[in-house]
Copies of this chain bind each other. A is one copy, B any other.
C-alpha cells in the first residue's frame, strides 16, 4: 500500500510537494493508466464504464452475488495534496489484495472504483452521479467538457449507460481524510460519517449604472460594487446569527467594467450555501436571497440569481455506521460520528445503495492544498477499519 501511495505522489507532483491531477488532464490520465496496470498485474478484473469510471473487481464465486463498492478518486484539485482521494484508492486496492491472498470466499464481489472528476474540474462528482443516473443532459452540452471526454474515448451520448442497477449493489464504502480538525482536536482515530451536507452554488449578479467616477453625483450613483459589498457583509452576519451549523462562502466577485475611474455597473458574486439539514438549507437559501433583494433595492440596482449547482444533503446508512464502529471497537480505535461538510461520492451513491464513509484525521485540517498531511500510521488504521467494515458488510445478510 505504501509503494502505491509513493507512486501516486510522483504523478502530477508539484514543486510545493503536492499534486495537480486535474480530471482528464495528462497527469490524471497517467494515474488512471497506472491503476489499470496494477489491476491487471494483480489479476483483478478490469472494468470501465461509459462515464470513464475505472474499476478493479475481485469476483464472487456465487452467481449474481451483489457487489460491495469501495470508491475513491485519483483526480485532485489544482495544486492539491497527496492524501485527498489517493488514500481511498490505495487502501481499496489493499483490501482486495488481502481478501484475495487470504483466500476468503465472500458472498459478495468487491469492486474498487475510481470516479471520474470527483473534484469537479469539469462537473462535480461526475462519475458518481453517472453511476446513480444523476447526470443532467444539459451538462453534456458543455463543448469543452465534451471535447475532454472524447479525448479519453468517451461518448457523451452514452454517459447515461454508466447507471448501475441498484439490485446489483450491496454497499458503498469510502476511506477519506477529514476536511477539518474535529478528529485532531478530539484525538480520535476514526470519523464515522453520518451525513453529508447539501450544497448549493449561485451566481448573484447586481446591475447598476456605469459613469465617470469624478463627475457623477455621489448621491445619484447606482454602484453595483457597493450593493454587492453590502450583500456580502449582511449575508455573512445573518448566517452567523441564525444558522450555527450553516456554511456560507462568497468565493469570487467579478466587477465590470473594473476601471479606477468608472462606477461599477455589474458585479457577479459567487455564493455557496451548505447545510446537512434539508429544511434549514432551504431556509438559509431563502434568507440569502432576501438579503440580495434588499441590498439591490436599497442601492437602486437590479439583480439576478443563477443557480449553478445543487447537491442534495445525504444520510449515511445506520447499518454501515454500526459496522464501522464495530470495526473500530475490534481494532481498539476511537471513533466519532460526524457530518461531512465537504461533498463526496457517497452523497449520490446513497441514493441507490446503503453508503458509508470512514474519515482519518488531517493534520491542521488542511485540505485541497499541498500542506495536506496525515501520518502513515493513521492511514493504516483507516485502511484496517475499511477492510474490517468491508468484511462485515459483505458477510451481513
In the complex, which residues of chain B have a beta carbon less than 8 angstroms from the beta carbon of A322? none
Docked pose: A178 CA to B212 CA in angstroms = 11
Cβ < 8 Å to B, chain A residues 224-273: 225-226, 228-230, 232-233, 236, 239-240, 246-253, 255, 258-264, 270, 272
Q: Which residues of B contact A201 (CB under 8 A)?
A: 260-261
Does A343 sit within 8 A of B, measured CB to CB? yes
Q: Is A153 an interface residue (CB 8 A)?
A: no
A181 to B251, CA, bound (A): 38
Please give, as numbers and ranges, the residues of chain B lying within 8 Å of A365 by CB-CB distance.
211, 215-216
What number of copies of this chain does the assembly contain? 2
| A172 close to B (CB within 8 Å) | no
Knowing A179-B212, A233-B226 are in contact, say whether A260-B251 is a contact too (CB < 8 A). yes
Listed residue (A179, A215, A217, A342) with the most chain B CB atoms within 10 angstroms of its CB: A215
> Could you tell me which residues of chain A, from 345 to 396, have a CB within 8 Å of some CB in chain B?
365, 367-369
Known: A251-B259, A258-B252, A260-B201. A180 touches B216 (CB 8 A): yes
What residues of chain B lie closer than 8 Å to A229, measured between beta carbons?
228-230, 232-233, 250
A226 to B199, CA, bound (A): 20
B247 touches A264 (CB 8 A): no
Q: How far is B223's CA from A230's CA once the two chains are assembled, in angstroms?
A: 15
A252 is contacted by which of B232, B236, B260, B274 (Cβ under 8 Å)?
B260
Is the beta-carbon distance between A341 and B214 smaller than 8 angstroms?
A: yes
User: Which of A226, A251, A270, A308 has the largest count of B CB atoms less than 10 A from its CB?
Assistant: A251
A210 interface residue per 8 A CB criterion: yes
Q: Say whether A197 faces chain B, with CB atoms less than 8 Å apart.
A: yes
CB-CB under 8 A from A215, the residues of chain B are 178-180, 341-342, 365, 367
- Nearest CB of B to A48, in Å: 28
Q: Are A261 and B272 in contact (CB under 8 A)?
A: yes
Q: Is A7 located at the chain interface by the 8 A CB criterion?
A: no
B251 touches A179 (CB 8 A): no
Interface set, chain A 198-222, CB cutoff 8 A to B = 199, 201, 210-219
- Contact between B247 and A225, CB atoms less than 8 A apart: no
A272 to B218, CA, bound (A): 13
Q: Which residue of B lies closest to A219 (CB)?
A: B240
Q: List 18 A-B contacts (CB under 8 A).
A: A179-B212, A179-B214, A179-B215, A210-B369, A212-B342, A213-B249, A214-B274, A214-B342, A218-B239, A218-B240, A218-B246, A223-B236, A226-B233, A226-B250, A229-B233, A249-B263, A251-B264, A252-B259
Closest 9 CB pairs of A and B: A179-B215, A213-B249, A229-B232, A229-B229, A214-B341, A252-B258, A180-B215, A214-B342, A215-B341
Q: Footprint of B on A, CB under 8 Å?
A: 178-181, 197, 199, 201, 210-219, 223, 225-226, 228-230, 232-233, 236, 239-240, 246-253, 255, 258-264, 270, 272, 274, 308, 341-343, 365, 367-369
